[in-house]
Structure 1
Amino acid sequence: MSFVTSLKFRGWALLGAAAFCLALPGAITTLGNSAYAGGTLEERKQPMHFKWNACQGDCKGWVSAVGIVTSDSPREFEEFAKGRQLAGATIVLDSSGGSVNDSITLGRKFRSLGALTTVGATVRTQTPNGERASVVPEAYCESMCVFLLLSGKTRYVPPVAHVRVHQIWMGDRADDAKASSYSAQDLMIVQRDIGRLTKYTFDMGGTGDLLSLALSVPPWEDLHELSRIELRSANLTTTEMAADVFPQDNAGVPMAEAKPSKPQDRFVSSAMDDMQPQQGKSTKTAEAAVPTGGKASAPAQPAAPQK
């Protein structure tokens, strides 16, 4: 895998296909009044972690944020940020979502830094000159990850990335939502967090279209994958140029492209569903939970933006 040396392109530069190892389907791990949505790659099944990725020449590097948002994530990001100059840094997201309130807190921290956001999976390859990092754009940003994406001052979604939305719900009942019972306290938590999420969305420059799309998909339906039209109407993208979120001076562009795989290729047999991801701590909040092994619904392209 080599690096592209020019910034005069739109989208992601083709540097060859990258191979991924499939992991077990996501599972909902219940913790108190909350749960966390595991991903399909091993790292995405763990609580979110942050890593600084350097690249050659004058490239500024980027932060990879991979995994599910837990109550520890905002504090761990603060610890990660200590001693680093992260103002205006690029944050590359690959996440299945997680805690609503903690995602809001983390998103506000990203915005306070003037961060740039995009969707991608950071990969490292060995070359004769040592290890090099690059970003593969075919990655998933689901549920509350979409609102982390919204926190970026500049936001880029590559054409092969998957941005999927879903209602927030009581995470411990998301897999069998229709058959579950709910108390007045449960409804209060969900209503409260919808209000917090609405305020955050508008504070970050998002639109009512994003909320309308997300809040219209119940947990017993497949996640809805946003089309390019919907990404723009939700204001989740502010640029169509990858170089706008990877500013650098005549250096190698840290972007690679993988050939799109079929959505079902990211899932394996449901017979392995009893394998649980590492648990993270929860807060008393609703969750934007991804149902176990769910597939994306076909992108809808409304004739006019919904209000």
Structure 2
Amino acid sequence: MQFFVVRSGQPGCEPTCPEWVSAEGTIVDESPARFKKLLKSLGDRRLPIVVTSPGGDVDAALAIGRMIRARKLDVAVGKTRFVGCQPEERDCRANDDKGARHVGIAYSGEAYCNSACPLMFAGGTRRVVGEWAFLGVHQITTTYVQMETQYRMKYRVVNGKKKVTSKKVVGRRNVGGYKTYEMSKATERKLEAYLTDMGVDRAVVNLMKVTPATDIRKIEPVAMLEMKLTTKLGGVELLTSIEVCRTVPAAGNCRVFTSVDLE
């Protein structure tokens, strides 16, 4: 999963524009560390998270969700269309006068949060999924890998008995593995405890259990609200529209930028 701080490129928002964190891609083992690094760079700023993800590592999703809740951040399922500099571009200067490295527009169409992603999403203080976005769950897949370890050992004979004096790993190889597609009781308890901490109904776990790993169960907007997976009806625009900067006071993710800041 990649994380970028984005400033709105919506026409008419300057000099006070909303900003957010774009979080897109598969959740992997390294994702929590990357997210923690980004949060540190923001200092005390509390920017909403705009996420699109097919899912990934469950424990990593839980870790990110807890960080989101600890910082009291809002989350929306959405995508970011970057304007000017693209995330993969290096040494791009197109946005030098925009007040941000990345500028873009957040939208709900074709955005999705599936598999382990809803666990991360549950960490949000405010949580929204638009009409044109998709949030789905299914059974957890657990992969077990069997490894063979080779050692180099040295011995010494003491009083006629052989004793090991050193033992060093010289190699490891994968000798097979298997997958399970049924949630263990321990995992079920862990997920239920997490969702309870986040104020979300355990019915989410029940939906995961009854949906095959090869399928995905879309949760409809009203059902998400009933399960307290979302906190209100509406989409990413509730967190990233220029309207959030026109209230008094303006939303906390709004930042003023003028030409004076370039001097």
2:121 matched to 1:149?
A: yes
Secondary structure of residue in 1 paired with 2:27 = coil
Matching of residues 132-281 of structure 1 within 5 Å: 132-138=103-109, 139-171=111-143, 190-220=184-214, 222-242=215-235, 244-246=238-240, 248-250=244-246
Secondary structure of residue in 2 paired with 1:134 = strand
Taking only aligned residues, the RMSD between alpha carbons, in angstroms, comes to 3.2
For residues 10-35 of structure 1, what are the alpha-carbon distances to aligned partners after superposition, in whole Å with 9 as ceiling and x for unaligned? Answer: xxxxxxxxxxxxxxxxxxxxxxxxxx
Secondary structure of residue in 2 paired with 1:60 = strand
Q: Which has the larger radius of gyration?
A: 2
1:71 to 1:204, Cα distance in 2 relative to 1, 3 A: same
Paired residues of 2:181 and 2:213 also in contact (CA < 8 A) = no
For residues 177-220 of structure 1, what are the alpha-carbon distances to aligned partners after superposition, in whole Å with 9 as ceiling and x for unaligned? Answer: xxx977xxx69983322221111111111102211112210224
Secondary structure of residue in 1 paired with 2:245 = coil
Amino acid corresponding to residue 5 of structure 2 in structure 1: W
Matching of residues 1-307 of structure 1 within 5 Å: 48-55=1-8, 56-85=14-43, 87-126=45-84, 132-138=103-109, 139-171=111-143, 190-220=184-214, 222-242=215-235, 244-246=238-240, 248-250=244-246
* Displacement over 6 Å in runs of 4+: 127-131, 186-189
Paired residues of 1:87 and 1:113 also in contact (CA < 8 A) = no
Q: TM-score, normalised by structure 2?
A: 0.66
What is the number of residues matched between the two proteins? 197
Paired residues of 1:58 and 1:248 also in contact (CA < 8 A) = no
Q: Using the alignment, how far apart are the partners of 1:192 and 1:95 within structure 2?
A: 25
Q: Using the alignment, how far apart are the partners of 1:187 and 1:218 within structure 2?
A: 8
Amino acid corresponding to residue 191 of structure 1 in structure 2: K
TM-aligned CA deviation for residue 232 of structure 1: 1.2
Q: Using the alignment, how far apart are the partners of 2:44 and 2:210 within structure 1?
A: 36
State percent identity of aligned pairs.
Answer: 24
Structure (1/2) with the larger strand percentage: 2
TM-aligned CA deviation for residue 229 of structure 1: 2.2
Unaligned runs of 5+ in 2: 9-13, 85-93, 146-176, 254-263
Secondary structure of residue in 2 paired with 1:65 = strand
Paired residues of 1:89 and 1:113 also in contact (CA < 8 A) = no
1:136 to 1:249, Cα distance in 2 relative to 1, 3 A: closer
